Amino acid sequence: MNPPRMPQWPRSWRLVPWPGNPRVRGLFTSREGGTSGGAYGCAGGGGMNLGDHVGDDAQAVQRNRSLLAEWLAGVEPAWLQQVHGTDVAALDDWRTGQSPRADAAVRLRAGVAASVLVADCLPVLLAAPSGRGVAAAHAGWRGLAAGVLERAAAALARGAACRGEDLQAWLGPAIGPGHFEVGDEVRAAFVAIDAGAGVAFAPAAGEGKWMADLFELARMRLQAAGVPRESIFGGGLCTFSDPARYYSFRRDRITGRQAGLVWLAG
pLDDT at 8: 63
- Per residue of the chain (266 residues), what is the pLDDT tens digit? 344 444 467 889 999 999 999 999 999 999 999 999 999 999 888 999 999 999 999 999 999 999 999 999 889 999 999 999 999 999 999 999 899 999 999 999 999 999 999 999 999 999 999 999 999 999 999 999 999 999 999 999 999 999 999 999 999 999 999 999 999 999 999 999 999 999 999 999 989 999 999 999 999 999 999 999 999 999 999 999 999 999 999 999 999 999 999 999 98
Number of Cβ atoms within 10 Å of the Cβ of 12: 20
Domains of the chain: 15-176+230-264 (3.60.140.10)
**205-to-141, 195, 209, 210 alpha-carbon distances in Å:** 20, 23, 7, 8
160-209 pLDDT tens trace:
999 999 999 999 999 999 999 999 999 999 999 999 999 999 999 989 99
Query: Which residues lie across from 174 on neighbouring strands?
Result: 238
pLDDT attached to residue 3: 42
The amino acid at residue 180 is: F
**Among candidate residues 185, 191, 86, 190, the one with its CA nearest the CA of residue 139:** 86
What span, in angstroms and rounded, lies between the C-alpha atoms of 246 and 119? 8
